[in-house]
Amino acid sequence: MPCVDHFHLADDMISHLNSVIQATNNPFVESRYVGFVAVAAVTVYELCIKEIFCNFASKKHKIFGFFVDSSFRRINGRISLKVIKEEYLNRFGEKYVNRFKARSTEAENRCIKEYGKSMLSSYGNIIVWRNQFAHEGTLPTTATYSEVTKSYEIGKNVILILDDILTM
């Protein structure tokens, strides 16, 4: 299954929540869903990242694929940009780190021009908001429902870049 198929898990939930929020038009209710969207977003990102690396390794060699799959069994939120570059991609070679950096820079500039928002910050913020909600039991005070859903959408580009550089 293509990794982007995982996006449907969060996309469908967000689509449903959008209709709930529009119907209630209540800022308090809207604020309650911020944490849930962040958790769903990071879960989807984790599933995608695991699948991308496992597929890449399996295409290189069957045994390598088994090894990588076992390494990624407990990814548990370890998907920050720093971890992706320094821990995951670095293990496959510097050329992948360099490709990721170059493509991320291009996409970052494009997102800022098109959306007025940083792709890299959007991706990182989703992880921070998820951690606040999942580990601290607090709602992110710096994010609205609209902001968390937009950040999730823009942050998807990080996943698409990773998928692209490992399938080149």
Non-local CB neighbours of 104 within 8 Å, separated by 6+ positions? 81, 119, 120, 158, 161
For residue 118, what are its two tokens? 């940083």
Query: Cβ distance 148 to 140 under 8 Å?
Result: yes
pTM for the full predicted model:
0.92
Q: How many domains does the chain have?
A: 1
Burial tier of 64 (Cβ tally within 10 Å: 0-12, 13-18, 19+): middle
Q: Does residue 113 sit in helix, strand or coil?
A: helix
Range of the domain at 59: 3-167
Whole-angstrom distance, CA of residue 59 vs CA of residue 76: 24
Per-residue pLDDT tens listing for the chain (168 residues): 578 899 999 999 999 999 999 888 888 888 889 999 999 999 999 999 999 999 999 998 999 888 888 888 878 779 999 999 999 999 999 999 999 999 999 999 999 999 999 999 999 999 999 999 988 888 888 899 999 999 999 999 999 999 999 987
Distance CA 152, CA 140 (A): 14
